[in-house]
Structures are given as structure tokens and as C-alpha cells.
């Protein structure tokens, strides 16, 4: 295999087309194989221009790290319960809180088990993840589902025939759970939402499968107008929220999450600030800088590690410089939480708490 210095060699299926079992088996296998391919960042083809320094390959390991914190695990467990019982649930939360990571992790684990069970006669596709189109008509949703099967069959132009085709494919491929992502798109097209929601309701009843709706919290307002479907999706419901330190329990969750990052840095030979240091209010500064969102926290830490160069270290100084590059919290204006004095951090935290109480009142 060419470029074996850079890529792990993998064995691809010999047949990339053909009958229904071959198609879907190869699709599932490729999903898993692609996750095994890893680019060697120390010898990669990424160019470096001017005075820019090469990025320490350990940074990539931190970037790829999935911290299995309490809420992450709870999300996986709730999807698993709905899957096993063939029931419905809603997973919602603002951007950056981990919905996509939870969904992708669950899909990967299910597909890995499916690969172990595959045979020439049976090639299961137990899970589908379908992004609801921005123009969320029933026809567009059906087309998006049809595309997931990778079949060479021609999709009908008639809605009722499209439904029949999709139902048949779901049965033939032994689909057990469908995750509809970006379900808040249905809010934008209320004139078409009724038909789409009715289809999802009938899909659950007719096909005896689990359905998970995932998206932004605002999408639940569209669901409220369809109580029959809302009840079917009511077995589990989880709203992802940012990390916070407004209670002792929440502080412990945030500390545990940050400690896991610190451990990853240490295991890769780096040094990391003590995030639980009360004297310097490190957790408070992180909270002000990132809203407590896992994605923004990761971005900030990765920028800090890049800034540290060969030292591979996270400290207040490079967190400060990283924040000025990322600039994630616009509410602070020009203020940098890692440059604030203790009094400034405390005032900013009090203001944050006041805003949240006013919003929730």
C-alpha cells in the first residue's frame, strides 16, 4: 500500500458494489475501517509556512480525546435504553455541549458489534443517523433516509411510494434505531412539520424501532404541537447543559472533567496547571472563558498546548494567550479572564450568576 509510512495499512472489502447484503455490509465495514486509519502527524504532508513552528504530535492526541464524563455517559445510557426497548427519546442542548460526540460514539459502538455478527446471509444495519434537512419536508427526509442505505435502486418521485421503499429497506436491513439529528429544522418549516412528524410517529408504530430526536432545545417547541409523537418520545429525555460551579455537586463534575484532561496531558509527557486551585480561581476563569462548553474548553486547551511548543504545557500564561486567539466569550468584551485580578473574576462570576437567575426566573 502506498504511503504506508504515513498510514496504517487496512484491508478493504474486495467487493464495493453488488447485491443488497454486499452493499450494506461493505458500508458498515468501511465506517469502522475509516476510524482505524490514523495520520502520522510527525511525518504528515501538512506544510509549514514562514516562521510557524510544527505542531507537537501529542496535541493531536489531546484534540482527539473523548472525555467520558458523567453527562456523556448518561447520554449514551439513555440512548441505549431507548434502543433496547424500541422506544423514543429526545436529546437536546446548545451547540458545543457534546450531542454529536455522544451520537457518533454510540453509532460506532453499535456498528462494531454489528460487524462481529455479519455474514454473507445476514448483514445488519442496526443504527441509522439521519440529519434532518434545513428544508425539512417529508419528501426530503425520506430522500435523506434512502441515501443512508447506499442502494442502487431508484427512489420514487411519489411520496407514498417513497415511504413504501423506505419501510421495506428498514425491514430488510434490520434497522433497530434511527437517530434524527438537527430536528430543530422542523421548526423553520411548520407548514410541512405535521406531515413529517406524522411520518415519524407511524414509523415508530409500524417498524417497531427506537427513534431519537437530537438537536437544539428550541426544537422541542415544534414537538409540543404534536402531543401523540411527544408522548412516544417521552421514554427518555435529556437536555445537555454547560458545566458550572453554582453548586458543590456541579463543581465536582467540572473538576472531574478538567482532571481527566490534566491526566491526558500528563500521560503524554506534559505539564498542566491545577484546575482545582481555589486561590487562583482557575475553574472560574475557565468558566468565564468558555461558558462551560466542552467543545470550547477543548479548543482553548489545544491552543494553549500549541502555544507552549516543545514544553507541551498548560499554564495561566498560555491560557491567556490562547484565549486572545480563540476569543470565545463575547460577553466579556475585551476582558481576558486569565489576566483578571481575583476581584475582577469574582465580580464577573457574580454578574454571570445574576444573569442566569434573571433568565431562569
Domains of the chain: 70-240 (3.40.50.300), 248-360 (no CATH)
| 211 sits in which H/E element | strand 210-215
**What are the Cα distances from residue 99, in Å, to 14, 71, 161, 220, 229?**
35, 10, 33, 15, 21
Which residue, 317, 304, 320, 321, is CA-closest to 270? 304
Q: What's the chain's average pLDDT?
A: 82
Of the CA atoms within 13 Å of residue 185, those in its CB half-sphere come to: 18
CA distance 109 to 342: 45
C-alpha cell recorded at residue 87: 422506544
Higher pLDDT, 64 or 176: 176
pLDDT at 23 over 70: no
pTM to 2 decimal places: 0.80
pLDDT at residue number 50? 54
- Length of the chain (residues): 361
Which tops the pLDDT comparison, 5 or 194? 194
Question: Which residues, in sequence order, are bridge partners of residue 215?
Answer: 92
pLDDT band for position 20 (50/70/90)? very low
295-338: per-residue pLDDT in tens?
A: 999 999 999 999 998 899 999 999 999 998 876 666 666 689 99
> Is the pLDDT score of 122 beyond 60?
no
Confidence of residue 151 (pLDDT cuts 50, 70, 90): confident
User: Among 4-8, 52-56, 237-241, which range has the highest average pLDDT?
Assistant: 237-241
The 10s digit of each residue's pLDDT in 183-194 is 998 876 566 678
Measured at the CA of 235, the angle between CA 233 and CA 238, to 5 degrees, comes to 85
Amino acid at each position: 500500500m502506498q504511503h504506508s509510512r504515513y498510514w496504517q495499512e487496512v484491508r478493504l472489502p474486495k467487493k464495493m458494489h453488488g447485491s443488497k447484503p454486499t452493499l450494506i455490509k461493505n458500508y458498515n465495514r468501511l465506517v469502522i475501517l475509516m476510524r482505524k486509519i490514523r495520520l502520522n502527524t510527525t511525518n504528515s504532508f501538512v506544510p509549514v509556512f514562514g516562521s510557524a513552528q510544527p505542531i507537537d504530535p501529542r496535541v493531536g492526541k489531546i484534540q482527539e480525546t473523548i472525555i467520558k464524563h458523567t453527562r456523556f455517559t448518561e447520554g449514551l445510557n439513555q440512548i441505549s435504553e431507548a434502543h433496547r426497548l424500541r422506544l423514543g427519546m429526545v436529546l437536546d442542548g446548545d451547540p458545543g455541549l457534546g450531542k454529536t460526540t455522544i451520537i457518533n460514539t454510540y453509532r460506532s459502538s453499535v456498528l462494531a458489534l454489528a460487524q462481529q455478527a455479519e455474514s454473507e446471509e445476514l448483514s445488519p444495519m442496526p443504527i441509522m443517523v439521519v440529519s434532518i434537512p434545513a428544508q425539512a419536508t417529508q419528501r426530503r427526509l425520506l430522500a435523506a433516509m434512502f441515501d443512508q442505505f447506499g442502494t442502487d435502486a431508484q427512489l420514487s418521485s411519489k411520496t407514498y411510494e417513497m415511504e413504501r421503499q423506505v419501510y421495506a429497506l428498514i425491514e430488510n436491513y434490520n434497522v433497530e434505531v434511527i437517530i434524527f439529528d438537527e430536528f430543530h429544522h422542523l421548526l423553520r418549516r411548520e407548514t410541512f412539520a405535521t406531515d413529517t412528524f406524522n411520518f415519524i410517529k407511524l414509523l415508530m408504530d409500524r417498524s417497531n424501532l427506537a427513534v431519537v430526536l437530537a438537536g437544539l432545545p428550541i426544537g422541542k417547541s415544534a414537538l409540543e404541537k404534536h402531543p401523540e409523537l411527544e408522548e412516544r418520545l417521552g421514554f427518555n429525555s435529556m437536555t445537555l447543559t454547560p458545566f458550572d460551579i453554582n453548586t458543590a455537586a456541579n463543581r465536582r463534575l467540572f473538576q472531574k472533567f478538567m482532571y481527566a484532561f490534566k491526566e491526558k496531558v500528563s500521560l503524554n509527557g506534559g505539564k498542566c496547571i491545577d484546575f482545582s486551585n481555589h486561590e487562583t480561581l482557575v475553574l472560574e476563569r475557565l468558566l468565564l472563558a468558555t461558558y462551560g462548553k466542552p467543545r470550547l474548553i477543548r479548543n482553548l486547551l489545544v491552543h494553549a498546548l500549541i502555544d507552549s511548543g516543545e514544553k507541551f504545557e498548560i499554564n495561566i500564561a498560555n491560557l491567556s494567550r490562547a484565549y486572545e486567539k480563540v476569543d470565545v466569550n463575547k460577553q466579556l468584551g475585551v476582558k481576558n479572564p486569565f489576566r483578571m485580578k481575583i476581584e475582577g473574576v469574582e465580580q464577573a462570576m457574580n454578574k454571570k450568576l445574576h444573569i442566569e437567575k434573571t433568565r431562569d426566573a
